[in-house]
Structure 1
Amino acid sequence: MGLYKLKTMDENIETGVLEKVKTDSIDYEKDFENWLENSPSVLLDDDAESTVFWIGRQVSATVGETDKYPDLIGIDASGDLVIVELKKGKTPREVVAQILEYAAWGAALKYGDLNKISQDYYRTDNSMANKSLIELYHEVFLPDNDEEVKIDFNKNQKLYIVAEQVSAIVKQVAVYLREKYGVNVYCMEYEVLKTQQEEYFISTEKIVGYDDITSSISKNKISGTSAIRWNEPIKIKTVISDAVNKITNGKETAVFTPAEVYSELIKQYPDINQSTVRCQVIQDCVNHTSRKHYPSGQRDLYFRSEKGRYRLYNAEKDGKWDWQGRRIE
């Protein structure tokens, strides 16, 4: 399958020409690791509208009598431990044993262990340094919640094998582990492409573990609602913004809360996740300091008037803001 970029000279698509996008032969494994570190939502399902916050990179993991170094480890919205192993080229069969060794190590980590790893990871980040793991969790997933929420950290481990090509045997074993033993293992392929103008495109394909999310229903610890994959023909971010417009009637002075948006949406979409609604509002809120944790697909739609309360964004009135929720002077 060929991939082309439409190149236009005068912004008229009718006169555009197709430029071939070619796979570059340079080793991008470390580059992709950096990109994934900056854009963790790439790991998740396309319509999940959630994220992972990393707590470690190349952390020393003692397995038996040897030290190993998983590429990335993080925490997701359920408090589960996310472990990622990246491979250049085609996955060797040994990667399955490797990721399971990481899982055995990770499963033994207590809150104090995870907290120490996290503080080491963020020690040079002025905005995140010295914050506990639970504080970071609240900042990412529950920034507007004043209530005490009990999070059961590391109840499960979610294992991601990411490579340019997932071999047939690795795919087969991963499917077996999921279906026979309930191991949360996922496989994703990526490809780096570059145009003649030095523009980069990253293609990803979810290979194992994503298409059966629909049948996996679990109780969400945060919202108490069923966490089911979004399976509607319309994008979830679109139904959320449509609900906001309905609640506010398009008036910039009208104030709304994520809870009100959720209450409006469950009338038509009873399986929608309350956490997803909250995260999407944060992502699209220009002045929310936690939007930096949701960098992919941001839209400048809302303005936080006070904690937990929002209104429609007016660029002339509210000024310009960057993707991290910082005002642009």
Structure 2
Amino acid sequence: MALYRLNYEKDDLSDGVLEKADRQDVDYERDFENWLENSPHILLDNEEDLNIIWIGRQVTAVYEDRYKYPDLIGIDAEGNVVIVELKKGKAPREVIAQILEYAAWAEQLTYEQLNIITMKYFERKNEYLGMELSEIHQKIFYPDVDESISITFNNRLRLFIVAEEISNTIKDIIYYLNKFGIDITFLKYDVFSNESGEYYISTEIEEAKTSMVKSKKNSSSNSVRWNGDEPIKTVVKNAVDTILSKSSDGQFTMKEVIDSIIIKYPDFNKSSIRCQLYSDCVNHNSRKYYKSGQMDYYFQIQGTTYRLYEKNKDGNWNSEGQQIN
């Protein structure tokens, strides 16, 4: 795969020249694992999935009296456990057995055990120091909901293998396991740099053959996903525009957007709608958790009430939800 940077001076790009970026070797443990920990959204190729919160790194997992150390453990918006195994270079065939051993261990984790892992991980993050998993989860995924959200943690597992290359044999095994409801995804990555010393990361998701992985405990749970052709960002924006076309004050609420979309798409994931609003709301405190594909669409007035963002009126805001000069 070749990656190029477009160098240009004219606004219409007509004088553009393609500058090739060269592949670079990285110290996997020192570099890429850190980058992934800082950027969990790169695992989520489906725009309906907007974020993962990590709760552990190199956690000690005991399986059949042997010690295992999953690279990263996380939780998604629905409380599902996410496990990531990273490999430098080409993923060996043994990685399948390794990730399944992690799954066998993680499948049995209770909320109390997940909470212990989480609180230990966040000992070094002052923002969540002393907070339990359920509190952190609600703060990130449901910050505007006053009442306590009931989440069934570890309802199913989501497994990721990340490497620079994967064999067709491993692909076939992953596809086969997907058919039986084992949710394994492969993420291929490459690191490039150009003559200016700028770095570029290319990622590619190997899609599962099955359209949906069933819950291991409740096949009718809210983990059923919408599989429409429109990106979730577009679905939410269209719903907002429809609501505002009938509004006299130019305002809309989170509930109105959710209700509007659910009427049209009954199986749509409600938490994904909330996360998309946080991502595209310039001044929302939770925007910093959703940095993948942000757009400056909305402005939070108060609580769950919003309006459209007006740059001349509202000023400039960054990806952290902070106002800048």
TM-score by length of 2: 0.89
Q: Which residue of 1 aligns with 2:298?
A: 302
Cα–Cα, structure 1 residues 49 and 257, in superposed 2: closer, same or farther, change >3 Å? farther
Q: Which residue of 1 aligns with 2:166?
A: 166
Query: C-alpha deviations, 1:95-148, integer Å up to 9, x for none?
Result: 111111111221222111111111111112221111110011111221112233
Q: Which residue of 2 aligns with 1:197?
A: 196
Aligned partners of 2:178 and 2:213 also within 8 Å: no
Cα–Cα, structure 1 residues 264 and 205, in superposed 2: closer, same or farther, change >3 Å? same
Query: In structure 1, which of residues 214, 224, 227 is the aligned counterpart of residue 224 of structure 2?
Result: 227
Aligned partners of 2:212 and 2:224 also within 8 Å: no
Cα–Cα, structure 1 residues 252 and 236, in superposed 2: closer, same or farther, change >3 Å? farther
Q: Cα offset for 1:281?
A: 0.4
Cα–Cα, structure 1 residues 280 and 304, in superposed 2: closer, same or farther, change >3 Å? same
Q: Counterparts of 2:228 and 2:23 in 1: how far apart (Å)?
A: 32
Q: Cα offset for 1:260?
A: 1.3
Q: Counterparts of 2:215 and 2:98 in 1: how far apart (Å)?
A: 27
Q: Cα offset for 1:243?
A: 2.7
Query: In structure 1, which of residues 312, 319, 322 is the aligned counterpart of residue 318 of structure 2?
Result: 322
Q: Which residue of 2 aligns with 1:288?
A: 284
Could you tell me which runs of 5 or more consecutive residues in structure 1 were left unpaired when the two chains were aligned: none
Q: Counterparts of 2:65 and 2:187 in 1: how far apart (Å)?
A: 30
Read off the aligned partner of 2:243 and give its amino acid letter. I
Aligned partners of 1:166 and 1:188 also within 8 Å: no
* 1:277 pairs with 2:273: yes
Which segment drifts farther, 316-325 or 287-296? 316-325
Cα–Cα, structure 1 residues 85 and 7, in superposed 2: closer, same or farther, change >3 Å? same
Cα–Cα, structure 1 residues 254 and 295, in superposed 2: closer, same or farther, change >3 Å? same
Read off the aligned partner of 1:185 and give its amino acid letter. I
Q: Which residue of 2 aligns with 1:137?
A: 137
Q: Which residue of 1 aligns with 2:187?
A: 188
Which segment drifts farther, 307-316 or 137-146? 307-316
Aligned partners of 1:252 and 1:313 also within 8 Å: no
Query: C-alpha deviations, 1:66-93, integer Å up to 9, x for none?
Result: 3221110011122111100000010111
Query: C-alpha deviations, 1:125-174, integer Å up to 9, x for none?
Result: 22111111001111122111223332111122211111111122222222
TM-score by length of 1: 0.88
Runs of 4 or more, structure 1, over 4 Å off, are 215-219, 249-253, 266-271
Q: Counterparts of 1:326 and 1:116 in 2: how far apart (Å)?
A: 32
Read off the aligned partner of 2:110 and give its amino acid letter. K
Query: C-alpha deviations, 1:192-227, integer Å up to 9, x for none?
Result: 122222222221111253x53x355779x9xx7673
Cα–Cα, structure 1 residues 106 and 160, in superposed 2: closer, same or farther, change >3 Å? same
| Identity value in percent | 46
* 1:148 pairs with 2:148: yes
